Copies of this chain bind each other. A is one copy, B any other.
Amino acid sequence: MSDDQWVPPTVLLAVDLVILTLRESRLQVLLVERGIEPYQGALALPGGFLNHAEEDLPAAAHRELAEEAGLDADHLHLEQLGVYGTPGRDPRGRVVSVAYLAIAPRLPEPVAGTDAAHARWTPTEQVLPDPTRLAFDHHRIVTDGVERARTKLESSALATAFCGPTFTITELQAVYEAVWGTPLDPRNFYRKVQGVAGFIVPTGRTRRTETGRPAKLFRPGPRQALHPAMTRPTVLSNEEKPQT
């Protein structure tokens, strides 16, 4: 600290994106096939270095979102997930990556012939169990992103961000079931979700399905913080099982 010649080291700064959506009733994450070394040919999160030294971090995240997934900011939740900067995580040198979590309603297949051509949706249930499937430390980042999404679903109105502008309660339930990976009781969910003030508001319209009673349509309400919170069914560890 008292070395007069010392100058602080510099690092390369990147953003990585965990983009989650719901397709085929499953939670899916956008992955790209890497075209260059390192990890050429492997699957990785979309992302990249800052464009220039003055680019803002959220701006870089939005730019990558547009470039690699063809997504504009509409209906889009974007939040910082964390920093991943272990020395050696990138063979090119000291790269520190800021991960962002993006959540979007039902998204289309990436369009061929664009920058997003090598992108593909992959169910998280295929990615999470295998830590070696992704390049760099991206498996850890995806794991953290999914866990963040699960937690946020409990206490915030984030679930509606997975839906279109209007939705049925059953559709909303499907979001919770897909993200949490647990089945929920439809009747309890129905009343529960309506009892949370400001979470969803009825539109007065209904939506016909192939068969069965038409369902009322709702849109997102004004509330971001949910009271009472949605409760994720607790997977009981051995220690907390009731003693019979």
| Residues of A in contact with B, size category | 35 or more
Nearest to A98 among chain B residues (CB) is: B83
Task: Say yes or no: A56-B234 contact (C-beta < 8 A), given A9-B49, A11-B13.
Answer: no
Selected from B57, B85, B197, B198, the residue in CB contact (under 8 A) with A85 is: B57
- Residue from the set A10, A11, A53 with the largest chain B CB neighbour count within 10 Å: A10
Selected from B12, B55, B197, the residue in CB contact (under 8 A) with A240 is: B197
**Cβ-defined contact, A13 with B227, below 8 A:** no
**Cβ-defined contact, A53 with B11, below 8 A:** yes
State A128–B176 Cα separation when bound (angstroms). Answer: 36
**Cβ-defined contact, B227 with A55, below 8 A:** no
Nearest to A67 among chain B residues (CB) is: B1
Chain B residues with Cβ below 8 Å from A87 are 53-56
**Cβ-defined contact, B12 with A198, below 8 A:** no
Task: Say yes or no: A49-B8 contact (C-beta < 8 A), given A87-B55, A240-B227.
Answer: yes
**Cβ-defined contact, B1 with A8, below 8 A:** no
Nearest to A234 among chain B residues (CB) is: B227
State A83–B57 Cα separation when bound (angstroms). Answer: 9
Q: Tell yes or no: A80 within 8 A of B by CB.
A: yes
Selected from B49, B52, B80, the residue in CB contact (under 8 A) with A83 is: B80
Contacts beyond the supplied A83-B98, A197-B239, A223-B239: 14 A-B pairs with Cβ under 8 Å:
A1-B67, A8-B12, A8-B14, A11-B11, A11-B50, A55-B87, A56-B86, A57-B85, A57-B86, A80-B83, A85-B98, A96-B96, A198-B240, A222-B239
> Which residues of A does B touch, CB under 8 Å?
1, 8-14, 49-57, 67, 80, 82-83, 85-87, 93-94, 96, 98, 115, 197-198, 222-223, 227, 234, 239-240
Query: Can you show 16 pairs from A to B with CB atoms below 8 A apart?
Result: A1-B67, A9-B13, A9-B53, A9-B55, A10-B11, A10-B12, A11-B11, A11-B12, A11-B53, A13-B85, A54-B87, A56-B87, A57-B86, A83-B98, A197-B240, A198-B240
